[in-house]
Amino acid sequence: MKAGFWTAPDGADEPMTIMPLDLDTAATGRGRTASGAVSFLATASGEALARRCARAALLLPDIAQALDAQTADAPGHLFDLTDFEAEDRELIDQIVGEGEVSGLVTLPDGVIAHIQEATMAGLWRVRFTNADGALAADYIETASIPEIVKRGAIVNAREVDIGAPPAGAMNVMPVLAEIAERARAHQPGAPSHIINFSLLPMSPGDMDCLQQRLGAGPVRLVSRGYGTCRVLATAIRNVWSVQFLNAMDTIILDTLEIGGPPIAVCAADEDFRDSAGRLREIHEAYFT
């Protein structure tokens, strides 16, 4: 049996290379946690930076208000940081930190969206780089998942071509038929349908056939909370690979989800209220 749906032949790692490309450290805030952000603001250099960055400080109550009004099924709210001074963006980096979910959306013409959840769930930092690797856009978004993830997953998405059964097929043909039917029937907002390969007998040939006929889409995300969850949009509309791994990077749950973005990487309604409260506490403690 194959170790997992997106385990490549001969153990190649390429299909799940999903961590964001490195941008300039000062522009990205990589590695900052919630406690680290608060600790920085309490230092003399943090206080000095906060005094110099009035534009960033004025944005915080607006973001908190947007979080309070946000729901998981509603469109997100964007705060454009592209023309902010470098120090203002650095201060925002320090405040929001880095949460559990990160990843990439690969778009046409070499544009890449770099996704990073803040330490406050439901708050996201999204940066676009062009084909030359230069920063093209930078914004904060309040949403269950950034809109570019949803849009990227349907760019050039197609329906399943079931085709002829491969030699030695065991269960792949009924699985492909189930995927095709469920993907066509899915309606926005409806619960996802889950196919669990950890329980379903599938031969290596079955899994190779699935990889070839579903293909890989442009969205790759990873959540590192109580373990690791890897999420990949396939090339089929509404079909996602979702894998959970233990501390030894062994796949312990290997599934396809047919529906919207998997809940493993999405914020819930209660997350927005909690995050709004945390952001207000930071603003009141260090900026008023």
The vertex-149 CA angle with 55 and 77, nearest 5°, equals: 35
- In the structure, what pLDDT confidence band is assigned to residue 4 with cuts at 50, 70 and 90? low
Structure tokens at 216: 């890989």
Q: Does the structure show a pLDDT above 70 at 8?
A: no
- In the structure, what pLDDT confidence band is assigned to residue 1 with cuts at 50, 70 and 90? very low
Q: Does the structure show a pLDDT above 50 at 31?
A: no
Beta bridge partners of 137: 128
- In the structure, what pLDDT confidence band is assigned to residue 34 with cuts at 50, 70 and 90? low
Q: Does the structure show a pLDDT above 70 at 221?
A: yes
Determine the pLDDT at residue 6. 65
Share of the chain above pLDDT 70, in %: 87
Determine the pLDDT at residue 7. 62
CB 232 within 8 A of CB 16: yes
pLDDT tens digits along 170-199: 899 999 999 999 999 999 889 999 999 988
Q: Does the structure show a pLDDT above 60 at 30?
A: no
Nearest to 34 by CA among 96, 122, 126: 96
Average pLDDT over the chain reads 87
pTM of the entire structure?
A: 0.86
pLDDT tens digits along 123-146: 999 999 999 999 999 999 999 999
Determine the pLDDT at residue 156. 86
Domains and CATH numbers, the chain: 9-16+153-265 (3.30.1370.140), 31-144+268-286 (3.30.1370.140)
Q: Using CA atoms, how far apart are residues 68 and 62, in angstroms rounded to an integer?
A: 10
- In the structure, what pLDDT confidence band is assigned to residue 152 with cuts at 50, 70 and 90? very high
pLDDT tens digits along 230-270: 999 999 999 999 999 988 888 899 999 999 999 999 999 99
Determine the pLDDT at residue 177. 96
Q: Does the structure show a pLDDT above 70 at 24?
A: no
3-state secondary structure the chain: CCCCCCCCHHHCCHHHCCCCCCCCHHHHCCCCCHHHHHHHHCCHHHHHHHHHCHHHHHHHHHHHHHHHHCCCCCCCEEEECCCCCHHHHHHHHHHHCCCCEEEEEECHHHCEEEEEECCCCCEEEEEEECCCCCEEEEEEEECCCCHHHHHHHHCCCECCCCCCCCCCCCCHHHHHHHHHHHHHHCCCCCCCEEEECCCCCCCHHHHHHHHHHHCEEEEEEEEEECEEEEEEEECECCEEEEEEECCCCCEEEEEEEECCCCHHHCCCHHHHHHHHHHHHHHHHHHCC
